[in-house]
Structure 1
Amino acid sequence: MCARYLEFILLLWFPGVLHAQSTAQSCRAPGLAHGYFLPALETYPHETKLTYACDNGLKPVVEGWWATSTCQNGKWVHNPQCIDEKACFPPTIPNAKYTENSNGWYEEGDTIRTICDEGYEHKDWSATARCTNGTWSSLPICEKHHHACGEPPKLPHAVIIHQRYRKVFAVDSEVQYVCEDGYTMEGGHTKKSIFCMSGTWNEGPTCSSRPDAGHGGSPDVGTGGGHTTSTGHGTQPGREDSRPGTGHGGSPEVGTGGGHTTSTGRGTQPGGGGSSTTSGSRSVYASIDTCGKHPVVPNAVVVQVERMYLKYKCNSFYKQEGLDTVVCYDGGTWSALPVCKEAFCVMKPGPYVYGLDLSAAVYLKEGEQKFPCMWQDYSVAVRCTNGRITYTDCCTSYNHWLVSLVLGFTFQITILLLICFMCLILNNTLTLHSYSALFYIN
């Protein structure tokens, strides 16, 4: 019985195979101008390969001085063609896109303009390349943007959804985590998003095992005679001193079975020198629209506005302390603001040295600057350090260089003398100990 079924199947299958072979079309000999190919036939059966080369000054339309093409059901793949040897083939530029020519190659003198993929930027702001004598001159390089992030962190019992894998993510990118079955996030959530902010992902969620149905109870409510207490310590906004708070750092706990649960924490209110952290919960970031009006940082301006953070830059003559980015928490509060401290000195009007007399106040950045004296090629070197001013007499550029050289040499000599002095003391101490030991033996 099985043999009859097999015969029936073979009867149906063999004609199909023969029909497929008979319908596969052969190819006519390609029309190759300024070149030659082998074998030279009038027609070529399906899947036949031929090899071709080009005359002097020309080259195949693919890499190499010779090439092969295959007959595929009546068409040549690829179509044999000879082009100018000074033409260029499409370049491979990692992490970039550009418009490719329809004919598959570029003539000498053609220029391409590249666009970097999301999360990348052009190195040295070079975005174009030119075809010159068969090669591309200075192909653009797309490197990771300094504000982009790497791959999101791998979190236990969680997976990222609705996002294909990438090694680089642009600033302000969002990825969403979901806990596996049987696990949940804080607050009973099963999903949470994190964001790329200035090259760093904000803190991800923690997926914890769900409590079994027999525990019962609710947050902040003890069962079976237990009780819950929460204490904390906080820093008040706008003050450097701290005083005990009431529960700023605590977290909801559930006591069962006649026991009790105690939760302690330490928190810092946004705007008072740090971001809020607790022992039982994590800060959740929100869009900056949640916090409303942008906070004002004295002597600084906002230089970058993204969906999830602001970036500040101190004005000239000021230096920054703290992070330059500010984020918004889901409670509608801002994180710690940067501080811009003075980094300048003021030279008041009046005479300083013979030959230098200021008629108006001058503000100096930290470092050294030169002021011209009344004599040609003479100047005063003024240095501003931590708000204090030091300056030299009127000297020529050579004298300034010589003074700095002598000061540097003097410093080195002083260090050497100190080393020698320490060695001398050490040597004398060792000698004294030797004499003492010898005297004791005798």
Structure 2
Amino acid sequence: MPWFCSSHLASRTITCLTCMSFMSVQSQEESCEAPRLDGGYVVPAQQSYTHGSSITYACDNGRKPAVESWWATSSCQNGEWQPAPQCIDETSCVPPNIPNAKYTENPHGWYSDSEKIRITCNSGYESENQDATAVCKNGTWTSMPTCEKSKDACDAPPKIPHAIIIHQEYHDLFPEESNVTYQCEDGFTVGEGDETEQILYCIKKKNISKTVFHFTPVDKCGKSPILTNGDVVNTTHRSLTYQCNDYYKLVGEAEVVCYSDGSWSKLPTCKVTHCAVDTANYPQLVQLPQTTYLLEGQRKEFDCLEKTFYGTHYSASVWCYNGEKYVKKCKYDSAPYMTCATTPHKQNKFTKLPKDGVMTIQPVCHAQADSLCFCTMYEDVC
């Protein structure tokens, strides 16, 4: 029983067999007409081409094939050219090859000059450039970003005997916070219980060199570990994040996870990074009603008990470094009770202009000069 098809399509015939079913006889593959190539030429040049045959083409001056080469090939596939031969302006760009990324594809198969595309890294990869875009400029892509493996991503989950991963395609990388579900083989259970499924979460285990999978949610490990001089600031069902109190520095990893055996990963510590200055322990200092706290690297002047003369200041400098305080001897500081923000106005002297941020005042001495002042910042003697 013949079927009659439209033009350019081969006919089909079905045959009645003794089993009262019909068997279809496949049609012959179609040939291709010569491609219409604007601004280029084809080799070999023919009126038609059989299925499976190939051509090579190139473009005229000022134009180029829509591929990464000055010539290109195309093959006849059942009446169609794959890929379609085309010549584009030489200032246009062909689709970029960006490993581990995807971007919006142009339906024409190429991009015009000044056209911009936005690149999105695949799951488990990231770009250093947050503005992941590229622009076609005179036939070349500029500022092309790269997608590298995320430092927080996990490699493929481990193979577990008598278990298989379900509802998940295979990937080389898994982003942090993702999970996979293992299904036990018939006759096997998880641990000593009767469960047959187990979920693994991708959490960055920061006390070793690479990210691995962990099994257990934090509620399986019981109460959160207590951090002296610190506290939990964030909780997920897979990890705890700690932070130290003021004047303390976190030593170790802030994130703590629950292991499959019910134990916690190593807890960080809070190291003292301040200095407590109690003037009662320093008889040479003027006593203060309460303890003074200095931050790491902070320096502060404390008044000393010896008499302070007019225009002078008798004090000791205390410096906090690496949690230890360093107390210097009391000494006179010839700092006047005036600021160095403005030029001081004194009698019996003239003033030079500032140099390198220091104002220098030189005296003009008179017999009747009856005042004495010192200024280390101004180098003032009058």
TM-score scaled by structure 2?
A: 0.59
Q: Larger % of helix: which?
A: 1
- In structure 2, the residue matched to 1:43 is 48
Separation in 1, partners of 2:278, 2:299: 16
Indicate the SS of the match to 1:186. Answer: coil
CA contact (8 A) 2:102 2:120 kept: yes
Give, in angstroms, the shift of residue 47 of structure 1. 2.9
8 Å contact kept, 1:149–1:170: yes
Q: How does 1:319-398 map to 2 (within 5 A)?
A: 319-327=249-257, 338-345=268-275, 363-365=294-296, 382=319, 384-389=321-326
Q: Say which SS state the counterpart of residue 114 (structure 1) adopts.
A: strand
Choose which of 106, 109, 112 in structure 1 pairs with 2:111: 106
Structure 1 spans left out of the alignment, 5+ residues: 1-8, 10-14, 205-284, 350-359, 375-379, 398-442
Q: Once the 2 structures are TM-superposed, how far is the Cα of residue 346 of structure 1 from its aligned partner?
A: 5.4
Separation in structure 1 between the aligned mates of residue 327 and residue 90 of structure 2, nearest angstrom: 68
User: How many angstroms does 1:332 deviate by?
Assistant: 11
Does 1:286 pair with 2:293? no
1:18-417 equivalences in 2 (<5 Å) = 20-21=27-28, 24-189=29-194, 190-199=196-205, 200-201=211-212, 203=214, 285-286=216-217, 298-299=229-230, 302=233, 305-314=235-244, 317-327=247-257, 338-345=268-275, 363-365=294-296, 382=319, 384-389=321-326
> What residue in structure 1 maps to residue 339 of structure 2?
none
- AA aligned opposite 1:20: S
Alpha-carbon distance, 1:39 to partner: 2.5
Percent of pairs identical after alignment?
44
Mapped to 1, the partners of 2:116 and 2:278 lie a distance apart of 58
Residue in structure 2 matched with residue 355 of structure 1 by the alignment: none
* Residue pair 2:239, 2:257 contacting (<8 A) in 1 also: yes
Cα distance, 1:82 vs. partner? 0.7
Paired amino acid for 1:192:
Q
Q: Secondary structure at the match of 2:154?
A: coil
Moved more, 54-63 or 152-161: 152-161
Equivalent pairs counted in the alignment come to 281
Cα distance, 1:121 vs structure 2: 2.1
Which AA in structure 2 matches 1:68? Answer: T
Q: CA deviation at 1:131?
A: 2.0
Offset from partner CA, 1:129-176 (integer Å, 9 cap, x none): 222232222322222333322222333343333322222222222222
In 2, the alpha carbon distance for the partners of 1:56 and 1:318 equals: 70
Kindly indicate whether the alpha-carbon contact (under 8 Å) linking 1:300 and 1:340 is maintained by their aligned counterparts in 2: no
CA pair 203-88 structure 1, distance change in 2 beyond 3 A? same
Distance (whole Å) between structure 2 residues aligned to residue 54 and residue 159 of structure 1? 53
**Displacement, 1:54?**
0.7
Deviations along 1:226-245, whole A, 9 cap, x unmatched? Answer: xxxxxxxxxxxxxxxxxxxx
| Whole-angstrom distance in 2 between the partners of 1:16 and 1:141 | 51
Whether the 8 Å contact between 1:383 and 1:390 is mirrored in structure 2 is no
Q: Which amino acid aligns with 1:121?
A: E
Amino acid aligned to 2:274: F
Counterpart-to-counterpart distance in 2, 1:39 and 1:346:
90
| Offset of residue 178 of structure 1 | 3.4
State the superposition RMSD in angstroms.
4.4
What is the CA-CA distance between 1:387 and the residue it aligns to?
2.8
Q: What whole-Å deviation, never above 9, does each CA across 1:298-335 have from its counterpart, x for those lacking one?
A: 54563x55442232344664221454224469999987
Structure 2 spans left out of the alignment, 5+ residues: 1-16, 18-22, 206-210, 280-290, 302-310, 312-316, 334-355, 357-382
* Maintained 8 Å contact 1:49/1:69: yes
Question: After superposition, what is the alpha-carbon deviation per residue over 1:194-223, rounded to whole angstroms, capped at 9, x for unaligned?
Answer: 22222444555xxxxxxxxxxxxxxxxxxx
